[in-house]
Structures are given as structure tokens and as C-alpha cells.
Structure 1
Amino acid sequence: MPCFNEEDTIPIFFKVIEKIVKSMKNINTEYWFIDDGSSDHTLTAIHKLNADYPDVVHFISFSRNFGKESALYAGLKAATGDYVVVMDVDLQDPPELLPKMYDYLASGEFDCVGTRRTNRDGEPPIRSFFADQFYRLINSISSTNIVNGARDYRMMTRQMVDAIMSMTEYNRFSKGIFSWVGFKTKFIEYHNVERVAGNTSWSFWKLFKYSIDGIMDFSDMPLSIASWTGILSFITALLGLVFIIVRAITVPNSSVSGWASLVCIMLLIGGLQLLCLGIVGKYIGKIYLQSKNRPIYIVKEKK
């Protein structure tokens, strides 16, 4: 469970999950709370649970905020169970689905049971619109299919978790990684659930940047767009040059006028060049960060 400023939700979450887990027969569980550099009393709430249930509740506390992807990676690395569940502590991931998820995996037919929301009730319409467009876009330009509405909330076999952990890339997009490693996955649908307490830390701008990272991590189409933009600009300029030469020959007294339009065209071409450079630079930046071999996260406290 990745946690960032979730001091109000952690006690509620643990109480609800424990009730459901205890109703499942022949199940031994461990909890790994990953404190992603929270600025509130999240770590204090985790400390209290760890003191009350030292053999069951464990935690990792980062030295600063490294992001949810780093927290997910740390949790998967620490988990030792035959089946591993990833979920948020705000109870937007319905815990009552856990028994059904376990039954599917225990049958041996599936390697992973994921979840997807069938609606986005309670979210701002603009966020829902762009979320739908993101899934439509990334699935059209990437060979890795990402189910629309899929959540990180899922139960996986040890084999699948080990496959995910073998991918030690610095720039991580878990939804894509879960799909890329393969394995047979069953999705359970549910209606959107509001947070039980607190406020989300995901702003529209953070989600937008996260979606851009996801697209670039699993598709090189933006590089192709940059290349085709350059080719299109070259062809357009060549046709314009031919038109100017032909007009100069056929209409001797023709004069070139309209410096404002000329400036606009120069700015347009310059803008396209900068856009293409920015796309290439984004990919080079990811290569640069990967080449540094920096750790994905730094642990301040673990228990």
C-alpha cells in the first residue's frame, strides 16, 4: 500500500481489511505500508499499527517523496507472499473484492486478477474526459494494451511479481508494466468509490505529466510524429519555393509583400522545430536518468 499524506485513512483501512481477511480461510497475511515521504502524520499512524501488530504490519519509509511508482516497486520488492495485492489505503479500491480475487487465482486458471472502474462518478468531467482520451491514444500507438479504467489494484501470483521485479527501469509506469509482462489476467469491474477520508494528492497537472510519461515509456510514436512533421514542413517549403519561382517567371512584375504573414510562417516553422526537439529531448532525458543508475528510492526506515 503506497501512502502519501494518508494519516486519516490508514486506521480505517486496516480495520476494514482485517475484517475481510479474517473471513477468508487458511490465509496468512502481511501488510507492507510504503510511506512515500509524507508531510503529515502518516508515519506515526503506521508506527502505531506496527507496534500493535508487529508480526503482521511492516513498513518502509522513504527519505523523501519519490512518487507512487517508486512506492509500488518498493512494496512489491518487500512482499514475500505467494500472492501479492497492490491497493490504495483510501478504500477507493473495494476490499470486498479480495475473496473473489483470491478464488480466481487459487483455481490456477489466472496469474493476475485486476480491477477496472466502469464509471468515474464523483470525478470532475474534464478529468474523466482526458482520462478516456489517454487510454484511447496510448492503445492506438502502443503494442502494449492498457485496459481503460484499469486500476493498480490487483492480486498477482509470485511468478508474475518476480517478472515485474526483473524490470528495474528508472522510469516506471506500472499499468503498462503489468500488461507488458504478460500472464493471464482476469478483470473484475466495479463502480467508482469515493475516498473514505482525506483528499487526493493527484492534481490534474500531475495526472497529465504521468500520462505523458506512460506514453513515452511504452511507445516511440512521438519520435515518429516529430520525423513526419519535419518531412511535411520540408515538402511544404519545397512546394512554396516552386510556386514562387513559377510565379516570378510567368508574372514578371509580381512582388513579394506581406511581411506579417512571412513572420508568422517563420514562427510556425520555428515552433515546429522546437516541438520536435522537445520530443527528442524528452526521450534523451529519460536515457540520461537511466544511465545515472540512481536508486529508484532511498529507505530512511524499515521494519
Structure 2
Amino acid sequence: MKHEILSVIVPVLNEEESIPLFLEKMRQVSRELPVEVEYWFVNDGSNDNTQAVLNALNNSDSNIHFIDFSRNFGKEAALYAGLEYAKGDYVGVMDVDLQDPPELLPEMLRGVMSGEWDAVGSRRINRIGESRIRSFFSDLFYKLVNKISSTQLVNGARDYRVMTRQMVDAILSMPEYNRFSKGIFSWIGFRTKYLEFENVDRAAGKTSWSFFSLFKYSIDGIVNFSTAPLDIVTGLGFITFISAIIGAIAIIIRAIAFPSTAVFGWPSMVVIMLLLSGIQLLSLGVIGRYISGTYTEVKRRPIFIAKKVK
């Protein structure tokens, strides 16, 4: 009889088509696991029949649980909610669209149960099927954040992983509102191994991640784990200040040495004014992004609100 439990956290948003396919595949894989598997589906404000599907599954299977949010709080909040409610000896995080291959789960679990690793995660080695622009910006994000942050992220790493209870408790000890799980997984440390796999297309439905939402998510990651943007705008301010002093000295010298040329140069002045204004606005935007993060944190609002847990 299986005594230990693996809690699998599955955030869902408008995934009524994917959930049955996911469970069918997982039930095949779970037969190979030396533990009992329970599922925690987190309904992140779906507006289709996702919750009705979860209600029916919960009524027919005692190992299927759900958390129904009062509205859409985002995937990060869904992950945190799942971690908070899951009580298994081991905890896994997966996407429901089968882009996280369930076939990797037995090897992940073996790695964690061996005691050699605190977590076994996964990373995509390619992005076949995605647009080149999306792939380019994704690679650029990882290169940038790893250069400016002390918290190193693995390129292509997914949220898909299996963790020990100790690691999960460490994540829950960080109840920050502005969350970036990839960074948190890395920041807390613990011995982590990554299994590689090729990109897999969605089994059904459409992704809720648009290019803009991914861009915003990447900005959150940079702001949450690096203050380098503030150092950059400080450097820009210093360079601009020194350039202004040098320019002022040059203008004074030219006006004294060549009085007839003092009235010329208004186009260049306009360009310089626009440049300086642009630098100022950029700097204010960067500083404002950090201030907005502080603002949302100090309000101490809950990360999520569960309408129903069963």
C-alpha cells in the first residue's frame, strides 16, 4: 500500500477541454509511481465550464481537489494557493495543457525521493512551434536577468518540478505579493536538478499568455530580483550631468572666441532637450516601477481569495 503522497498542483484558466486529457495521461503515469497522487486544481477565474468539470471530478474521485478563486488573480497567485493547500510529502507543479510531459514525473520523483536532490525540475531545450520573435525575447530575458541579478535563472526552465516538503515550506515563508516563482525557486537555494525535453504543443485549448503579458511578466522578474535598472538610470543621470557641464563650458568658450556663431545651433538644442527629456521620463518610469511594487506590498492585500475549496 502506498503511504506517501505526491500533491500535484495544476493552475487552470479556461481549460475545460484540457483537464480530462491531462487526467487520463496522469493516471497512466501514476501507476508507475511508488506514492499516492492527489491533485489540487486551482481555478484562476475561468469564464468557461472549467469549474463545472472540476466539480464533477471532485464528486467522482476523492483524490481530486480544487480551489476556486473569486476572480482572476494570475498564475503566480494560483501556484502559491496550491502550495499553501497541498499537504503531500512531495509537491509537484504542472501545467494542464500537457506541455509539461507527464512521462518525466517518475524520474523527477525518484530524484527527490533518493535524497540526492531537493527538487527536480524541467527545462525546454528548444522552442519549436513558437514564433521566432517570442523565442528571441525569451532568450534575451534570460541573458539580461542573469547578467544584472545575483539570482541565476536556467534558460528554458519551466515551473514543472517536484519538490520536497522542506523546499515547499521555504517558498511559503516568502508571502510577497509581487511574485516571480522562477526567481523564488532559484533564490531559496536547495539542490535542484533539471531534466531536458523538447518543446511540446498544447493538447487542447489556447494559451492565455499573450506577448504583452509575457513582457510584463519578464519586467516583474527583473524588478523583483535586481536593482540594476536603478543603477543604470543613476549612471545615465551622472553622464548627462557631466555632459551638460562640458557642453556649457564649450558654449561659453565659443561665444567668447567666435561671437558671431552664438545664435546658431537651435536645431541641435532641440534634439538635446528631447534627449534629456526622454532620459528623465525613462528614469521616472524605472523608479516608478519599483515604487509601485512597494506600494502593492505595503497594502498587505491577500495574494488570492478563494471562493470555494473542496
Task: Tell me the TM-score normalised to structure 2 length.
Answer: 0.96
One-letter code of the match for 1:2?
A: P
Residue 37 of structure 1 corresponds to 45
Unaligned runs of 5+ in 2: 1-9
1:202 to 182, 192, 209: 209
User: Could you report, residue by residue, the CA deviation over 1:243-274 in whole angstroms, capped at 9, with x for unpaired residues?
Assistant: 11111222233223233332221121111111
Q: Aligned ranges for residues 83-232 of structure 1 at < 5 Å?
A: 83-232=90-239
Residue 17 of structure 2 corresponds to 8
Indicate the SS of the match to 2:121. strand
Indicate the SS of the match to 1:186. strand
Question: CA shift at 1:127, angstroms?
Answer: 0.2
Distance 2:14 2:172 in 1: 26
Report percent identity of matched pairs: 59
Distance 2:59 2:267 in 1: 72
Unaligned runs of 5+ in 1: none
Distance 1:21 1:249 in 2: 85
What is the aligned length? Answer: 301
Distance 1:63 1:22 in 2: 34
Distance 1:41 1:224 in 2: 48
Question: CA shift at 1:19, angstroms?
Answer: 1.4
Structure 1 outlier segments of 4+, above 3 Å:
none
Indicate the SS of the match to 2:42. strand
Matched, 1:73 2:80: yes
Residue 5 of structure 2 corresponds to none
Aligned residues: CA RMSD: 0.8
Task: Tell me the TM-score normalised to structure 1 length.
Answer: 0.98
User: Could you report, residue by residue, the CA deviation over 1:50-90 in whole angstroms, capped at 9, with x for unpaired residues?
Assistant: 1110x200000101000000000000111101110000000
One-letter code of the match for 1:267?
A: L
Residue 18 of structure 1 corresponds to 27
Distance 1:254 1:69 in 2: 61
Question: CA shift at 1:235, angstroms?
Answer: 0.8
